Amino acid sequence: MALASPPEPIVIADYGASEGRNSLAPMRAAIGALRKRVGPERPISVIHTDLPQNDFAALFQTVISDPDSYLNGDAAAFASAVGRSFYQQILPPRSVTLGANESGCRGECCPVRITVPLGRAA
């Protein structure tokens, strides 16, 4: 997977984030794999998306205060949200490094395995 050149942030889109609980482990795993490539200081932006009527206050409460949050111990990780259906374009073209959807997983029933290739895409 090719990454934007520094200082451009790495952008992870979390499609269908709901209240964020199912996003914590996959986002932590993705950020951990990316950190091995880019180091601890490169900004990583996680953009949580869901329908406009989603409870975004609960999502941010989870992301900010849950002990398993991907934000814990990572000063260069950032969370934001977009209220829009993922059945339409949510973010600008070519702006997302990695996209994920965890809505099919419930808790620990789904093992999380994220592989970030070391080579650059052609």
This prediction's pTM: 0.83
Q: Is the pLDDT of residue 114 over 60?
A: no
- Assess contact for 122 and 91: CB atoms under 8 A: no
pLDDT of residue 103: 66
Tell me the pLDDT band of 49, cut-offs 50, 70 and 90. Answer: very high
Average per-residue pLDDT for the chain: 86
> Does the pLDDT of residue 22 top 50, yes or no?
yes
CA distance 122 to 47: 26
Q: What residue type is assigned to position 92 of the chain? A: P
